[in-house]
Amino acid sequence: MTRLLSHIVAAEDAGQRLDALLAARGLYPSRSAAARAVDDGAVYVNGASVAKKHAVAAGDTIVYQVEDAIEAGPLAGQPIDLDIRFEDEHLIVLSKQAGLVCHPSVDHDDGTLVNALVFHCGAENLCNVQGEDDRLGIVHRLDRDTTGLMLAAKTDEAGYALMADIRDRAVDRRYLALVHGVVAHDTGMVDAPIARSANERTRMAVRVAPSAREAITTFRVLERFEPRAKDDGYTLIDCKLFTGRTHQIRVHMEYAKHPLVGDPVYSSRSPKDASADLGLDRQFLHSFQLGFAHPETGEDLRFFDALPEDLQTALDTLSDRSEGLTAAGQEVFEALSR
């Protein structure tokens, strides 16, 4: 079924190409999908059909068509364990385990979170707001080796609402990260645009480029661990996402000269060193808090997820080097212990 939806251009988006805006605001799953929709006459600006390179103005009314998923995709369900924390007829809150890819890709054609969701719910009972049959239920993602809380949607209505709330920064997403070095200030913010690296297409980077997108991460220091002869210490931080770019926390903390411990891509320190010292074989990054308004009832929901065993063991290894919890650290660990 085809639906007509509308969007009012904000002042901050004035001057953008139409297809770029449609993708950046999550109205279509990608810029290429947005461009196809414009070329197919499925998008109107102030009642007129325009080119995909049209520069939008503040206050413009964009009307665009979306197709509701009717037929289930061919993706097979697989009996993969799901740690579900909340479920109703609209959505699921789950804690993702390390090593689980969110959706199929060139390198992972099965064994993904989507395969698990299809097995658990049935493909016909998952949203398809991404417009692709291999992304059923997905409204946001966690990296393969990042653990913790994330959302999945069952209905398209819930999916569109949750994606809009994420885009509008109405979903509270917080992560525990252990970084190299002793962070000097108790709070900080990294406001730096992210784009694909000009040199390595598999990496993201902070850079000024036409394709760069706004990215904002704030953090609070929870606990510091004193340096030793073979390292410069560590800091446990609570990161909050205000945007949702690929690898955002990992890229931003590398940019801030405090890369994540165990990160195989964005750390100049050898992940093998972290593995040997702390028993880690992945980056120390865990989605520990998720707060949002239920898209159907409006109820405020908030979930907490304690560190998985491997990350907790790494912290325990550093316990004799702790400088003590900060006030923010006491607050976070009290919440996690409830």
Reading the block at residue 211, the tokens are 């394709």
* Residue 63, SS3 per DSSP: strand
Instruction: Read off the pLDDT of residues 54-85 as tens digits, 9 standing for 90 and up.
Output: 999 999 999 998 875 444 445 889 999 999 99
CATH of domain 2-67: 3.10.290.10
Q: Calculate the CA dihedral of residues 114, 118, 123, 126 and round it to 10 degrees.
A: -60
72-168 and 172-337: identical CATH topology:
yes
Per-residue confidence (pLDDT) for residue 70, from 0 to 100: 41
Instruction: Check pLDDT > 70 for residue 270.
Output: no
**Partners of residue 150 on adjacent β-strands:** 94
CA 145 to chain centre: 13
d(CA 223, CA 131): 42
Q: Calculate the CA dihedral of residues 275, 281, 285, 286 and round it to 10 degrees.
A: -120
Model confidence band, residue 275 (pLDDT cutoffs 50, 70, 90) = low
d(CA 174, CA 219): 9
Query: Do residues 136 and 119 lie in contact, with contact meaning Cβ atoms separated by under 8 Å?
Result: no
Per-residue confidence (pLDDT) for residue 173, from 0 to 100: 97
d(CA 277, CA 190): 28
d(CA 222, CA 328): 6
Per-residue confidence (pLDDT) for residue 258, from 0 to 100: 96
Per-residue confidence (pLDDT) for residue 134, from 0 to 100: 83
Of 151-155, 187-191, 334-338, the one with minimum mean pLDDT is: 334-338
Of 132-136, 204-208, 309-313, the one with minimum mean pLDDT is: 132-136
d(CA 80, CA 328): 36
Phi, psi of 332 (to 5 degrees): -65, -45
Q: Which DSSP string corresponds to 248-262?
A: HHHHHHHHTT-PBTT
Fold assignment, 172-337: Pseudouridine synthase (3.30.2350)
d(CA 18, CA 51): 8
Reading the block at residue 60, the tokens are 């413009």
Model confidence band, residue 248 (pLDDT cutoffs 50, 70, 90) = very high
Query: Do residues 252 and 262 lie in contact, with contact meaning Cβ atoms separated by under 8 Å?
Result: no
Query: Do residues 96 and 142 lie in contact, with contact meaning Cβ atoms separated by under 8 Å?
Result: yes
From 7, 121, 93, 82, select the one nearest 299 (Cα to Cα).
93
Instruction: Read off the pLDDT of residues 4-63 as tens digits, 9 standing for 90 and up.
Output: 889 999 988 999 999 999 988 889 877 878 888 887 778 999 988 888 899 999 999 999
CA distances from 161 to 69, 114, 155 (A): 16, 20, 10
Q: Is 288 exposed, middle or buried (CB count within 10 Å of its CB: 0-12, 13-18, 19+)?
A: buried
The verdict on whether 109 is a catalytic residue reads no
d(CA 253, CA 305): 22
- The domain segmentation of the chain, as residue ranges, is 2-67, 72-168, 172-337
Select which of 19, 134, 143, 156 is catalytic: 143
Tell me which residue has tokens 């991404």: 130
Helices (H), 82-227: 113-121, 156-167
From 148, 130, 126, select the one nearest 139 (Cα to Cα).
130
d(CA 17, CA 240): 29
Q: Which CATH superfamily is domain 72-168 in?
A: Pseudouridine synthase (3.30.2350.10)
Of 46-55, 151-160, 180-189, the one with minimum mean pLDDT is: 46-55
Instruction: Read off the pLDDT of residues 193-221 as tens digits, 9 standing for 90 and up.
Output: 998 888 887 789 999 887 788 999 999 99
Per-residue confidence (pLDDT) for residue 209, from 0 to 100: 81
Average pLDDT over residues 127-148: 91
Work out whether the CA dihedral 307, 281, 324, 268 comes out positive or negative: negative
* Residue 316, SS3 per DSSP: helix
